[in-house]
Structure 1
Amino acid sequence: MDATLDLSRWRETPRGVGYRRWSILRSGLDLLLRNRFYRILLGAAWSSGLMIAVLGFTFSQAISSGGVLESLATRLGPRFEAIVTALSGFVALYPDICIGGIFGLIFWVHSFVGLFLALLALTGMIPRLITHDRASNALVIYLARPLTTTDYLLGKLGMIVGMILLVWTGPLLFGWLVSMLFATNTDFIWYSLEPLGRALLFNGISLVALAAIALGVSALGKTSRMTTGVWIALWFVASALAAPPGAPAWLKRASFTHDLKQVRQEVLRIDTALTRAGAELPLLDRHFAANLSAAGRRAAAEDVGGALAGLGVFVVLSSFVFFRRLKPEGDR
């Protein structure tokens, strides 16, 4: 057999390290999205985004002049017409409380859905982040020059960010944008921006914390059973231990789900919306107004400083584990 060796100069365009980082991200997401479980998660996530759009559209159409609610009230009699007129008047006179409060409540409810779906997605991702690479000694290849630890980290972070964008941030923005396209006036856009910004802020804080914790847990061991078990313990067991009202403060802060709950209450400020509605809206039923104010006090964050400190400790410890473990076995 005649074998020839071509020693001519390579003339292709180098794709650079950025392409290698993108390859890690893309291959990881492609592998996940071929999984039926993740396709179901995506369906549920975007259904929640569609629900945001439906609720926002229904609210804007219901209280507008000539809207669905006004048309329905004319058929039900003068009493219902008076109620609808009063509701429309509340929105016109107190748009920051009514519009901002309603959208704040919608985004607050969606934050539970988005966070839960993100945690489910990360549960399946944990072994695929670093665990399998450590078990197969693939780090020797991944961390060969010119690919560095930073490149590997950015690729894996990209997988987490991409998944959270797909199951949480994307549906949130989609639902808001669609509802604003059909809004009856610009007040809905203007007064829903602050609740949207707060929802995105909580989304970003959660993303940073969850990404660091997921990478640290995935780097702990070489078996899927071990790393998945640690993740579930941090999620469910720590959350259950922190749930009782009499649990010590340090134990509550040791649960990242409890910490995120406190951050949610502080950032989304559903307590402020309820308290202002009960105190400032001229509601006819004083008992209802008092209930709103009481609900606002119950929804207030109790230990946001401790929660942020707890999340900070989680991020620092997880980063230490990640960088300590992210070395080929022979280099330790």
Structure 2
Amino acid sequence: MNFKYKLYSYITIFQIILILPTIVASNERCIALGGVCKDFSDCTGNYKPIDKHCDGSNNIKCCIRKIECPTSQNSNFTISGKNKEDEALPFIFKSEGGCQNDKNDNGNKINGKIGYTCAGITPMVGWKNKENYFSYAIKECTNDTNFTYCAYKLNENKFREGAKNIYIDKYAVAGKCNNLPQPAYYVCFDTSVNHGSGWSSKTITANPIGNMDGREYGLLLNKKSREKYINIVKNDSSQEKYLNGWLSRADDREKYCNNYCTSNCNCDNSASKASVSSNTNTTDIYNSVNTVDSDICNCDDNEPTDFLDDDYINNEEEIDEEIIDQEEY
């Protein structure tokens, strides 16, 4: 009996040694968020329970403090401590994907021909901005239809660096996003890339932020974007095949907004130090979002959807002399 008792004790100790690292690791994820593992019924008021970060029964959650959303009064504040561009751009790169030349995508048209859209840069935008943003490719890539694709294949890192600068200059700034607080800044920036800077600029002018915080205003802009997607299909049934992708993109923006104002939970990889400053490797920016901890923020950590560039030609007004033919969704 004494031998059996000792054997049982050793087995129990061995099992505890095997399980303990998992328990500690699980609870450490909660601690890393500044949270405490406790019964979810005690996690109320200014606190929010997060799943899958604590060991124990299903009632035990990681209880973290909610954070007040930025407003127009502190429009440059970010949860991560990065600047707003640094927070937004990885998600925009993720949404825009690689290259495609779908003949039914109006964004791929240039001078009556079909070209490639790469990382959200349409053939027209790439060709018209080649001197300022893709000068490295001018000598080798001389055809307007295939310039964007050629420049992308010639040097993807340099191409994404140029795309990053176009995004900031031609969409964030031209779309009147810069003075908006997060997460509205990201929604404005992403819809400006997706719909055209003219759309976001007009929408912001027609629907000022007023007393709304960044989350509330971001959700409003996203609602307007959803309506535009639906209206596109109503007016042109050939675009219906893209609708699910567009609405999925809107779903991602809504999730970003709803999670942003929770402690360390803006669907960004808080452990990642990737920056999108002028000295940063743009490949690191693009890839950083793929290391998101999906459990922390309930983010969708699947592979990026290769969304089509959706800037359809409107011809109602010339937004910018360098991108006057940019199509607007």
Q: What TM-score comes out, normalization by structure 1 length?
A: 0.23
More strand by share: 2
Question: Larger Rg: 1 or 2?
Answer: 1
